[in-house]
Structure 1
Amino acid sequence: MLTSSDPIPASGAAPDVPRKGPRADTLPALLENWATNRGDRIALTHLDHRTGPEEHAVSLTWSELDQRARETATWLRHRVEPGGRVALLATHGADYVIGFLATLHAGLVAVPLFAPSTPAHGDRLHAILADAHVSVALTTRAKQPKVQAALQHLASPRPQVVAVEATRADPEPLPLPDPEDLAYLQYTSGSTRSPAGVMITHGNVVACARQAAVSYGVLPGRSVTVSWLPLFHDMGLMLGVLAPCVLGIRSVLLDPVAFMERPARWLRALSRFPGAISAAPSFAYGYAAGRVTERERSELRLDKVGALIDGGEPVRPELFARFRERFAGCGLPALAHCPSYGLAESTVLVAGVPAGAAAVSTTFYREQLARGEAVPADPGEPSTVTLTSCGWPAGQEVRIVHPATGAELPDGRIGEIWVSGPNIGRGYWQQPALSAATFCALLAGDEQPRWWLRTGDLGVRFDGRLYVTGRLKDLVVVDGRNHYPADVEVTVEGAHPAIRPHVVAVFTVPDSHGNEVVVLAERSSWVIECELDAEEVTGAIRRSVAREHGLPLHDVLLLGPDEVPRTTSGKVARAACRERYLAGGFAGSRAS
């Protein structure tokens, strides 16, 4: 088993608690206390790059943030019944944070979303707003016309769309929520026809933030979070809003577009704010390493970075290695890398490599992994795959379980990851059957029966550490052999230089003889389509996959830039790829 009591080299101090005030068990109570005890200290800084080439910094102290949240909370309390849902459709920045905190302070349930920018976004928003029965949609004055236009076709009753700037009211005393009360609905990425909102309580928020504090070495008065991750994403919300407010540390926000345009902006913020704790998916580390210029790199000083969390998608060790090599000369600490694992159903965090501990990668034989067993191999051996450990549980218990029998598996055997702890959500909004199946699993032979969360992820315990191998539902099974799509996708990416990194989907489709494998790959944006030999690229893909995995491919489609479906958090949506392929939605599909 893996438990939070296992000896781990965690470097974090015990989370700071307020010196005054009777309550420290919900976010609104903690925000009140920080306003009382640290009122003149800066709580939030937004580095705004939308107004020109130079950033415009907007900061709020704890007193100012608490005051603004109370004003909007009072406005909401007079218009929404207790427990009602309020959606956040604002742009990334201080108004989003104020609206979110105000919703919780008013005893309402927040639904963190995003300001729509494409018709596809409108479809997803409609599905979520209808599912959550949202009463009010908070946005900004600049985005209000677009939000109203995007929601005009929503079935009645439509939510009232209002700008956060227009909700300032004289603050009134409001009762504080209890830890068991619902705080927000975190909608997971997936099909717009069946949105699933994870119910997160105030107690879940506080527990998860304090778990993260210990894992990633948060030091009161010295640590600061720096984040460009979307605030509607579970990791972005925790890093940019929840953890700072629970722990009483400063939060620095950048817009996701600002990072994508110039990743040096993120690294400059890490240089500017000592003790920075930040997070990004693996692709972002490789992206930054390749896009930061020599001149930009020469201005960076990264020696005081506290922790760089690597999560949100399968950890790719070669991408952070490239990042480390690129910025080692800027003083980047050798032990800053913190590979982690989590999901929305656990608020965000399950396991991680603590700050100050070395990330460990292990090479395994691919054939044995396909059979459900982790057998180590020497790096560089043929037919192997290297996985990076996600460390140890962060204040919770983790088991590796046979998905069919519910029995715990021994070390070295691959099974489903099950989790139990105070950060686990209450279930899915208005989906009792799915909630029971996912959040109320019973471990066979458990001496102390309790409910476990079935993550749907496959993993293995090896040398006391957790390794995540893939998603159970995405597993590619051909001729009785298991293949992990992420592993095959890495092979496809390396098959030809014209293939765009991190935008490959591998999935199976039904055939009269069983399952057949399909590959979707985007060509890189620098490739001129008329000069590309598509047969050369697809042939290289087929040869590489056959050589490395022994897999014949039913179809290989080379698509243009941005044609592979993605989730709102930017990850390739394999299920949507498969669905569109079967519907003949891609040119050249041969669905049967």
Structure 2
Amino acid sequence: MKNSPLLGSTSIQECSTLVELLRRRAADQPDRVGYTFLTDGETQEQNLTYGELDKKARAIGASLQAMGVRGERALLLYPPGLECLEAFMGCLYAGVVAVPLDLPDPSRISRTLPRLQAIAASAQASVALASSDVRDGHLAALRKVDGVLDIGQVKWLITDRIEEGAGENLVDAEITEDTIAYLLYTSGSTATPKGVVVSHKNLLANMAGIHAMNEHTPESVMVTWLPLSHDLGLVFTALVPLYGGFRYVGMSPIHFLYKPLRWLAAISRYRGTVSGCPNFAYDLCVRKVPPAERAKLDLSSWAIALNGAEPVRHETIERFIEAFGPSGFRREAFNPSYGMTQATCSVSFVPVSAPPTYLRVQKAALERGKAIPAAPDEAGAITFVSCGRELPGQRIAIVDPETKLEKQPCEVGEIWLRGPGNAVGYWNRPEETEELFHAKLADTGEGPFLRTEDLGFLKDGELYITGRLKDLIIVRGLNHYPQDIELTVEKSSRAVRPGATAAFSVDAGDEERLVVVSEADLGGASPADVVGDIRQAVVEQHDLMPHAIVLVKPGTIFKTASGKIQRRACRAAYLNGTLEVIA
């Protein structure tokens, strides 16, 4: 592990809370620019030193203390930018539980506002923090659309109106490592969003593991477009740089999505060494950044390109390497990883400078729960990407979800995790917390483990993810992974939009049947031909006859903020007839 000067001393290693950590950075490096946000996604910089962040956090913290909300939950309602980070740290200084959120999108009010309302009710929030622009502009616009912004009886703190010297009134909140730092609401990929309770102890342990495995130094540079409402955006991209004392350069997800070149150009310009995002974003760069623009990039500084938060596809890795290798991107930079909000953030990484590892397995054996390597010329084999090894102090066990007995290497089971990074549990859901966060092996009693509800296997100590336990499609006793079917569908027709297909099962009488929902740009294509191509590809590749194939309008399939397909939401919309169908 390569330490920063502070990290090598006891001052950072002995910090038991994030508040102590920021105060130490501010005391020892007050003028160091820790955070840069590109307000236009390109060249307009907003910079924040450690001293300035500490000063802002103190002022917000003192204002919260004056409101008498210690220990209560605070909604953070900000657009992407540094104000949200200031508010987050201000909550921690005051002993208030931060709840970072995405602002509702007025153009998708029927989807995004109910989520905010549900989270506000679940968290029992008593205060909402926002900028004056958000309170008087964005949220006022929502009221015009929705008629009412029902997020409960909250008090408002408009953070850009706080007086300059307010921080002088801050009182030590006497927080400890067991104090709750924040609630982060799950993406809702498989269920109604739940608030994950993360303590300072969980957070510091996870950040220390990430820092160690990625070998960060004070010269590292994080470049990101991920929001603070996502565990990868909050912990991996925003807080780990504070832990390691290196620079963060961020931009809005919207700026990236509209022009993916901006992300790569920022890595090139700022000599970024580490960045990460879900798999779909790498594919988006390949599709949207033309060769002429690639030639202007210098990605040789990029040492860690994390790929996580959704299934990692080896085809994506190879396409990106082929497209951006001439720009200086190295195969060894790709770092497929595994993590989840319930484990604070990260669980496993590939060692730095090690190339991605692929494993082709027999399809028939996988359907029976075994990962048996396939022969090089074996048709129909399925390729998985290694997500590396667990963080220091973390244990990964592959467990039979029914018997709760540990599986052998190369046997598929539920991924269980044990370690200090595991979150406290779900907010106000004691039964689910007991079931998922306090699991024990049936034979030895070892625990507590976190049940991830993800499926995978271990081979040579490395973790391979095969799917999601609740999304698993079981037809005629055989297991089918939805992401494999979705990839087949995407390849079946040019009209199918990449990263916009959901495969799930429905009860059709006496058996489960497959349904496919895909966004489509038909152009001049016949809907019947596109459906026919999809059906033929699924039958040939998976020996499954789809019960239904539905083509929907572009931009209407359900996704999380990080771009993951919400299969359960798509299934519900299919069953109640609310999909925006074009064929």
Report the TM range for the smaller structure's normalisation: over 0.9
How is 1:18-33 mapped onto 2 (pairs within 5 angstroms)?
Answer: 24-33=15-24
Task: Give the counterpart of 1:165 among 160, 172, 176.
Answer: 160
Task: Give the counterpart of 1:89 among 52, 61, 77.
Answer: 77
Structure 1 residues 100 and 330, CA gap change in structure 2 (3 angstroms): same
Task: Give the counterpart of 1:303 among 300, 303, 309.
Answer: 300
State the identity as a percent.
36
Whether 2:104 is the aligned partner of 1:113: answer no
1:154-182 deviation line (CA, Å, top 9, x unaligned): 55842233332123424334234211000
Residue identity in the other structure for 2:135: Q
Confirm or deny: 8 A CA contact 1:509 1:518 kept in the other structure: yes
Task: Give the counterpart of 1:144 among 135, 143, 163.
Answer: 135
Residue identity in the other structure for 2:209: Q
Residue identity in the other structure for 2:442: A
Task: Give the counterpart of 2:509 among 512, 528, 538.
Answer: 512
Match of residue 49 from structure 1: 40
Task: Give the counterpart of 1:327 among 313, 324, 336.
Answer: 324
Confirm or deny: 8 A CA contact 1:225 1:239 kept in the other structure: no
Confirm or deny: 8 A CA contact 2:7 2:13 kept in the other structure: no
Structure 1 residues 258 and 362, CA gap change in structure 2 (3 angstroms): same
Match of residue 212 from structure 2: 214
Match of residue 25 from structure 2: 34
- 1:137 positional shift: 1.4
Structure 1 residues 75 and 271, CA gap change in structure 2 (3 angstroms): same
Residue identity in the other structure for 1:407: L
Aligned residues: 571
Match of residue 77 from structure 1: 65
Match of residue 563 from structure 1: 556
Structure 1: gaps (5+ residues): 1-10
Match of residue 365 from structure 2: 368
Match of residue 404 from structure 2: 406
Task: Give the counterpart of 1:195 among 193, 196, 208.
Answer: 193
How far apart, in 2, do the equivalents of 1:156 and 1:490 lie?
Answer: 39
How far apart, in 2, do the equivalents of 1:190 and 1:102 lie?
Answer: 27
TM-score (norm 1): 0.92
How is 1:123-138 mapped onto 2 (pairs within 5 angstroms)?
Answer: 123-138=114-129
How far apart, in 2, do the equivalents of 1:55 and 1:243 lie?
Answer: 24
How far apart, in 1, do the equivalents of 2:27 and 2:580 lie?
Answer: 61
Match of residue 280 from structure 2: 283
Whether 2:220 is the aligned partner of 1:223: answer yes
Match of residue 62 from structure 1: 50
Match of residue 3 from structure 1: none
1:70-93 deviation line (CA, Å, top 9, x unaligned): 111111111142211111110111
Which one has a larger percent helix, Structure 1 or Structure 2?
2
How far apart, in 2, do the equivalents of 1:586 and 1:21 lie?
Answer: 51
Q: Report the secondary structure of 1:362's partner residue.
A: strand
- Say what the alpha-carbon RMSD is for the aligned residues: 2.1
Confirm or deny: 8 A CA contact 2:55 2:167 kept in the other structure: no
Higher alpha-carbon deviation: 239-248 or 476-485: 239-248
- 1:566 positional shift: 1.5
1:437-480 deviation line (CA, Å, top 9, x unaligned): 10010112226x32100000000112321100000000001111
Higher alpha-carbon deviation: 293-302 or 481-490: 293-302
Task: Give the counterpart of 2:488 among 491, 496, 507.
Answer: 491
How is 1:540-579 mapped onto 2 (pairs within 5 angstroms)?
Answer: 540-579=533-572
How far apart, in 1, do the equivalents of 2:127 and 2:84 lie?
Answer: 14
Match of residue 272 from structure 1: 269
How far apart, in 1, do the equivalents of 2:121 and 2:81 lie?
Answer: 25
Q: Report the secondary structure of 1:553's partner residue.
A: coil
Whether 2:90 is the aligned partner of 1:98: answer no
How far apart, in 2, do the equivalents of 1:79 and 1:587 lie?
Answer: 46
Residue identity in the other structure for 1:384: A
Higher alpha-carbon deviation: 438-447 or 157-166: 157-166
Match of residue 378 from structure 1: 375
1:225-274 deviation line (CA, Å, top 9, x unaligned): 11101210110111332212222221111110111111111112211233
- 1:115 positional shift: 1.7
How far apart, in 1, do the equivalents of 2:235 and 2:151 lie?
Answer: 32
1:43-96 deviation line (CA, Å, top 9, x unaligned): 11001117xxx5310111111111111111111111142211111110111111
- 1:27 positional shift: 0.7
